[in-house]
Amino acid sequence: MEEYTIERGGAKATVCSRGAVVTSWVIPTAPPFNIIDGYRSRDEVEEGDGCRSAILAPWSNRIADARYTHADIEYDLGTDEDGRREALHGLVTEADFTVVDQSHSAISLATVIDADTYPHRVRIVVTYELGQRADSWILTTRIKGYNLGTGPTPMGLGWHPYICYDGPRDQAYVTLPARTTIRTDDSLIPLEGDLAFASLETYDPVTGLATIKPLENLDTAFSDLTATPGEEALVTATLHHGSGAKTTMVATAPASFTKASGIVHLFTGEVLENRPGESLAFEYCQFMTDAFNRAECRDQLEVGPGDTRSMTVSLIHTPSP
């Protein structure tokens, strides 16, 4: 397990080779502010509590009963250490990544998924890069999955950073262009078919935004997002801190946008073992939970042999005036 540092303009981020996770991102305000609530020790990395900054591949969140079928073959992902069958957050959260490229302000790490619980070998490459604007600091995460196999394989990517609150938590809120929330059962698996999707009452058609507050007891996915048009459609969501600072997430939208794809997931973390409720998991996922078992995701998930699936997420932090 190794740790690496990238820097730009006085900002510094640390990256751990186990899971290719960001463990901190400190910007040079007065006093310096650590935006990412990542693992704070080797023990925390090995415990994996909260999947802090986890790279989610080749699926995000859960798979119902830890089973799915692809190309008429059923795959059993087994039982977790705690006895549950939820197949949480893919196959690379505990993988060892190797550095394949590094500069002063960027780093790329890679690993290969080669498991009997997944149809084909896949190479996952994660790149982190620091950036800066006149009034903002930027951390960009790029994830690419390369299908190394001889046939198509399902693949959906996601990223699971926790953002530290700047100022009082009870004054923080999130705005995002979501019109729908995803309804789940007690195991946090989305309900079947259209029952999974419910209109989001706080969506304002005038502004095109929904406001999520208070940030308490949430483990909720939001979908049916409006993306900005352009060469590469983007989804934007913003955490408004109690101090007046803002952390904005800008993510690439899928080529074909549906209620089941392009998901912002908010988790307030009161159930965590370490630092419960002290930060917000501000996640972006290409597909909804249990996508491998949902008919509306099947075609979009497929990545052909030799093909690639990519996702880019930037966190843009603007300190309080």
Tens digits of residue pLDDT in 252-304: 877 666 788 899 999 999 999 999 999 999 999 999 999 999 999 988 999 99
Residue 113 pLDDT > 90? yes
Residue whose token pair is 């509590």: 49
CA angle 124–130–131, rounded 5-degree value: 130
**What pLDDT does 234 receive?**
87
Number of other CB atoms surrounding residue 139 within 10 Å: 24
Query: Quick one: which of 220, 224, 245 has its CA closest to 235?
Result: 224
pLDDT of residue 100: 98
pLDDT of residue 228: 80
pTM of the predicted protein model: 0.95
Q: How many residues does the chain have?
A: 321
pLDDT exceeds cutoff 80 at 82: no
- Which pLDDT belongs to residue 285? 95
CA distances from 117 to 54, 69, 90 (A): 20, 10, 11
Q: What is the structure's pLDDT at 256?
A: 65
The residues with which 48 forms a beta bridge, in sequence order, are: none
pLDDT at 108 over 80: yes
Nearest Cα residue to 19 out of 36, 35, 5, 39: 39
- Which tens digit of pLDDT belongs to each residue from 159-218? 999 999 999 999 999 999 999 999 999 999 999 999 999 999 999 999 999 999 999 999
pLDDT of residue 90: 94
Mean pLDDT of the chain: 94
- Per residue in 202-253, pLDDT (tens digit) is 999 999 999 999 999 999 999 999 888 766 778 899 999 999 999 999 998 7
Question: Taking a C-beta distance cutoff of 8 angstroms, is the pair 80, 63 a contact?
Answer: no
pLDDT at residue 12, rounded to an integer: 98
Which whole number is the average pLDDT over 47-70?
A: 95
Q: Is a pLDDT exceeding 70 seen at residue 145?
A: yes
- Mean per-residue pLDDT for 72-76? 94
